[in-house]
Amino acid sequence: MAKTSELRAERGLLALGAAAFLHLLAFRRGTFVYLFHKATTGVWVDEGARVAAGETMYRDFADVVGPGIVYFNAAVIRLFGARLDALAWAGIAVGVAVALALHAVTARVAARPARILAPVLFIVLVYARGRDFGGPAWPALALILWGLLPLMPSTPSRARSALAGTVMGLASLFQLEMAVGAVLGVCAHLVREQAKGRQASRFALAFLAPPALAFTFFSIAAGPVTVLDWWLIRPWRQRLAELRVDAGHPWGVPLASWIVLIAGGAACAALALRRGRTGGETGLRLCAWAGLGVLLAPTMAHIDAYTLAVQSGVLLPVLAAALVGGGRPRATPAWTARAAAAAVLAVGILHGAAFVAGWRQHNPVPVAQRFRAGTAWIGAPARDLEWIERNTAPGERIFAFPAAGMFYFLTGTRNATSFPAMVEGRWSEEEQRRALREIDAARPAIGVWLDAERFPVAPGAASLETLYQGILRRYQAEAALPGGTLLLRRRPAGGP
């Protein structure tokens, strides 16, 4: 068992190194490299700003994401102001938190090389890609890992089981499917251990407490049917309708590295579960059960390589322990397989580090643009956001459809409707007409239509044509930008 002073020194160096490396991901010469997405992470920032301004989710606006990420963003904005840099540093802090959680869990099941390897694999191969920066999967992953720690003793107490369940219950507020997968895996582990059936019940009941409290709170504000519809029913309906297997793009990392993370992690977990029931391997089996549960949870509609790599993060302690080997002799075939996997991951780490350090810091394409919320490097000048800031005062209401995440936050404006965004094929004609009625009630002077965010819908699904035509009847285009973006101004009273 490692000394406490040794672990503390490792944690300090790990936190410092991870923060420094992730700074290369998020900043270029001290300026944030814009990483948010118009239809997902950027929308959740806009929603967080609404909560920070006093609104309540599900009552004043609604989304198919859990409330955790929205209220996390609201907390960041309330504590540090509506500043882009604050959100960037929050993203770095979440990445460091996951790395530290991986180190803490791995330290319970493996020696020093493994407990350093696990967070390095996560930071370089998964988090440094920048995809879903500011998304709910990362806080959920951190909470799931921290929730495993109280269960690491071979016989966890009642208090430890309750604490573990509560922490994973908090993870469900961010990413419900990941948390449920982890809980099912942990319960399977506890039930299989001798005399642990009651611990599994306590753990599961404690897990239900945070989502139950959140559901009660929001139900009082918006009604249980509304909360149930947006939090549970709609997300699953959309995912079932759009579910498909997609190999995904390697996103700058050799796909072989992700195959090792996903398939290799699952294989190592299966081997850990086949081992003898020795006391020293209880923590390893716990990680294996929880990791397999998370890996099987459908966290997104599109199950691509990246999503599976994120899900396999819970398996990294098991994978790292298997690669290091714990100093125990292995047969030649097993050693050869382990060495090959380690070589592939080493190439991926070097490639990923070079990608971040080189591309993010020396890519000549982005330009630095200043917004009311701060300055960011972006791919091309955002003329639509410049136009909004020229034609509005801070706090003024506008609209931006279909999906314009961060438009309101960056420009310091307010959404004139209760709809943070509208994705093609997911919103009924009645909901589109409701958005038009809200626009009529608020009468914003200007708005933006992003035609590039439209795409063909499946047969029987409602397109956004009702919303589009209704906006054009109320607003006239002042200018059209490349990509089909329309800068709209309200038609004068009595106009055509």
Query: In the prediction, which pLDDT does 456 show?
Result: 85
Query: In the prediction, which pLDDT does 371 show?
Result: 97
**pTM, to two decimals:** 0.92
Query: Higher-confidence residue: 427 or 349?
Result: 427
Query: In the prediction, which pLDDT does 116 show?
Result: 92
Instruction: Identify whether the C-beta of residue 447 lies closer than 8 Å to the C-beta of residue 398.
Output: yes
Query: In the prediction, which pLDDT does 175 show?
Result: 93
Starting from the edge strand earliest in sequence, which strands make up the sheet with 374-378, in order? 27-28, 31-33, 374-378, 367-371
Query: In the prediction, which pLDDT does 244 show?
Result: 55
| Average of per-residue pLDDT across 385-400 | 97
Buried b (16+ CB within 10 A) or exposed e, 396-417: bbbbbbbbbbbbbbbbbbbbbb
Query: In the prediction, which pLDDT does 327 show?
Result: 38
Is residue 219 pLDDT above 90, yes or no? yes
What pLDDT band is residue 253 in, cutting at 50, 70 and 90?
A: low
* Phi-psi map region of 456: left, alpha, beta (phi>0 left; psi -120 to 50 alpha): beta
What pLDDT band is residue 254 in, cutting at 50, 70 and 90?
A: low
Is residue 439 pLDDT above 60, yes or no? yes
Query: In the prediction, which pLDDT does 192 show?
Result: 83
Query: In the prediction, which pLDDT does 303 show?
Result: 65
| Average of per-residue pLDDT across 7-14 | 92
Q: What percent of the chain has pLDDT over 90?
A: 62
Is residue 351 pLDDT above 80, yes or no? no
Is residue 250 pLDDT above 60, yes or no? no
Query: In the prediction, which pLDDT does 255 show?
Result: 76
Q: What percent of the chain has pLDDT over 70?
A: 90
Task: Please report, for residues 11, 203, 283, 354, 422, the alpha-carbon distance to residue 309 in angstroms, rounded to integers and kept in the order given.
Answer: 24, 27, 22, 20, 28
What pLDDT band is residue 328 in, cutting at 50, 70 and 90?
A: very low
| Average of per-residue pLDDT across 17-43 | 92
Is residue 385 pLDDT above 90, yes or no? yes
Is residue 334 pLDDT above 90, yes or no? no
| Average of per-residue pLDDT across 162-178 | 95
Query: Higher-confidence residue: 372 or 345?
Result: 372
Average pLDDT, the chain: 88
101-146 pLDDT, tens digit per residue, is 999 999 998 888 899 999 999 998 889 877 789 999 999 999 999 9
Least confident of 46-55, 166-175, 299-308, 419-428: 299-308
Query: In the prediction, which pLDDT does 129 show?
Result: 78
261-313 pLDDT, tens digit per residue, is 888 899 999 988 886 555 557 889 999 999 999 998 765 555 677 788 889 99
What pLDDT band is residue 195 in, cutting at 50, 70 and 90?
A: low
Query: In the prediction, which pLDDT does 331 show?
Result: 42
Query: In the prediction, which pLDDT does 337 show?
Result: 72
Instruction: Identify whether the C-beta of residue 304 lies closer than 8 Å to the C-beta of residue 316.
Output: no
Give the torsion sign (CA, 269, 274, 279, 282).
Answer: positive
Q: What are phi and psi of 353, to 5 degrees?
A: -65, -40
Query: In the prediction, which pLDDT does 245 show?
Result: 54
Query: In the prediction, which pLDDT does 489 show?
Result: 97
d(CA 166, CA 10): 28
| Average of per-residue pLDDT across 451-458 | 85
In the chain the domains, ranked by start, together with CATH numbers, are: 4-361 (no CATH), 382-490 (3.40.50)
CB atoms within 10 A of CB 233: 12
d(CA 225, CA 295): 30
142-165 pLDDT, tens digit per residue, is 999 999 999 987 777 889 999 999
> Which residues neighbour 389 within 8 Å (Cβ) at sequence distance 6 or greater?
371, 372, 411, 412
